[in-house]
Structure 1
Amino acid sequence: MSHPNREGQRVPAVIFKTRAGGDWKDTHTNDLFAGKTVVVFALPGAYTPTCSSSHVPRYNELAPVFKANGVDAVVCLSVNDAFVMEAWAKDQNAENLLFIPDGNGEFAAGMGMLVDKSDLGFGKRSWRYSMLVKDGVIVKMFIEPDRPGDPFEVSDADTMLRYINPQAKEPEFVTIFTREGCPHCFRAKAMLKERGIAFEEIRTGQGTGVSSRTLRATTGRSTVPQVFIGGRHIGGADDLARYLGLA
């Protein structure tokens, strides 16, 4: 089965049944795309291995770079219901993405991307692809090749970013080791937030699965916070303040 390339065409006009603040909300295609530049990546299903381990995390990591390069929103689309998509978004900590449930597969069908995965017990699902949409018109599509299984070769975030801007600078990833109730950890996180720097927080201590021994083995120190930027160990809160030019 071939999957059509719809570049130059408008996205299908559908109404997505979404959830907002505990209530049902009808979200029309125009709400997502009209007057906006949007990156969409569609995938077979929430919680599935490739989607959870690679597709969603990398788009979430690069979402700020997309936005710095003229993209208004990054949308994750899947043939799942609103409750599943909402839970998956929380599980993934993907705060930079907009998760849209194509519960009835209407958008996927309109794109010519609805496929039968009944052999896996999935029923009808979306083929994996990504696209750049400007004011409702599809500018570029990256469609996974027609092969058995779930190929993942061209719809990734890096391929889309290279298309939008081959010289785009990726962010330096930040990780901070913290402990519950630590005032210096709170100060370090506040400094990062003040500068608009996204970070991954790894909590240490009892019940977290990260012991003081692990902290020492990883950072060479036993105190928190410990901050890493771009793979380089910065140190504690005072060290971070100097690094950011705040001290």
Structure 2
Amino acid sequence: MSESRFTSKEGQKIPSVSFQCREGDAWVTKTTEALFSGKNVVVFSLPGAFTPTCSSTHLPRYNALAKKFAKHGIDDIVCMSVNDTFVMNAWAADQEADNITVIPDGNGEFTDGMGMLVDKADLGFGKRSWRYSMLVKDGVVDKMFIEPDVAGDPFEVSDADTMLAYIAPEEQNNPPVSILTKPSCPFCAKAKALLDEKGYEYEEIVLGKGASLTSLTAISGRETVPQVFIGGKHIGGSDDLEAYFS
């Protein structure tokens, strides 16, 4: 097996870099000092916004687990990519990734300083980041998970669940939950309170906003709310959810 091109930076300070970001109609300069000094920050870096694995799994899972990371002392979750700020902002909006700070390493300076800049000219990408994640404490790398140096775009160790297991091995990893609701529904409030009590993160789909009565009936076979789905299984309403947990 050939030696990896990538070396862990554990115990070392991260590169000092300034990033040109767009917030509204204004240009804002963000520095690594402001992003990392005095904070515990999880970083995950990926080849590019809007690319398949990055959009389907990498970013969404970190966004979904953000509250659990915060519970265990993580101040911020940063997604780094060698893209410009307009692309990163559009991607974050498209993904509804409100729990993630997206940073455009447009010139690849940070990525190069981490030793993670790779040539993907064969795909027409130019220079991009190898996929990795790290825990940074007060600007110093505490832990890195670097994807294996093999052909393609491996995604085995830089995922959110691996990082959470390192930070909080005792944390319960619940299956994904979706709940269909409507405003001012007491049974919906009851079901959400129960999910909160049991420590389950959930995606709420509100009738009239994210779905219609037709969607509700087609998906669940019922016309009443709430309707709860856990790990791909239809649980039912608030009483059904109580029975599920008991």
Normalised TM-score (structure 2): 0.83
- Specify every segment of 5 or more residues in structure 1 that has no aligned partner in the other structure, as ranges: none
Secondary structure at the residue paired with 2:118? strand
CA RMSD of aligned residues (A): 3.1
Secondary structure at the residue paired with 1:159? helix
Q: Deviations over 1:94-124 (max 9, x none)?
A: 1111111101111001111111111111011
Specify the alignment match of 2:112 in structure 1: 109
Report the Cα distance in structure 1 between the residues aligned to 2:144 and 2:177, rounded to whole angstroms: 31
- Specify every segment of 5 or more residues in structure 2 that has no aligned partner in the other structure, as ranges: none
Contact 1:131 1:139 in 2 (8 A): yes
Specify the alignment match of 1:66 in structure 2: 69
Matched, 1:148 2:151: yes
2:165 to 152, 162, 167: 162
**Cα distance, 1:218 vs structure 2:** 3.5
Secondary structure at the residue paired with 1:40? strand
Map 1:1-247 → 2, pairs under 5 A: 2-170=5-173, 173-178=176-181, 183-184=184-185, 188=189, 199-204=202-207, 212=214, 214-228=215-229, 233=235, 235=237
Contact 2:180 2:204 in 1 (8 A): yes
Q: Deviations over 1:189-242 (max 9, x none)?
A: 9x76xx69854233557995x662x52354342134434467563626xx69x9
Secondary structure at the residue paired with 1:12? coil
Contact 2:117 2:127 in 1 (8 A): yes
Report the Cα distance in structure 1 between the residues aligned to 2:23 and 2:57, rounded to whole angstroms: 26
Report the Cα distance in structure 1 between the residues aligned to 2:30 and 2:116, rounded to whole angstroms: 20
Report the Cα distance in structure 1 between the residues aligned to 2:209 and 2:108, rounded to whole angstroms: 45
Normalised TM-score (structure 1): 0.82
Runs (4 or more) in structure 1 with deviation over 6 Å come to none
How many residues in Structure 1 have an aligned counterpart in Structure 2? 235
Contact 1:40 1:130 in 2 (8 A): yes
**Cα distance, 1:169 vs structure 2:** 2.3
Q: Deviations over 1:73-112 (max 9, x none)?
A: 1111000111111110111111111111101111001111
Report the Cα distance in structure 2 between the residues aligned to 1:207 and 1:166, rounded to whole angstroms: 34
Report the Cα distance in structure 1 between the residues aligned to 2:71 and 2:209, rounded to whole angstroms: 39
Report the Cα distance in structure 2 between the residues aligned to 1:37 and 1:65, rounded to whole angstroms: 14
Q: Deviations over 1:155-214 (max 9, x none)?
A: 1111111111211123564423246xx5439x749x76xx69854233557995x662x5
Residue 206 to residue 9, structure 1, CA distance change in 2 (3 Å): closer
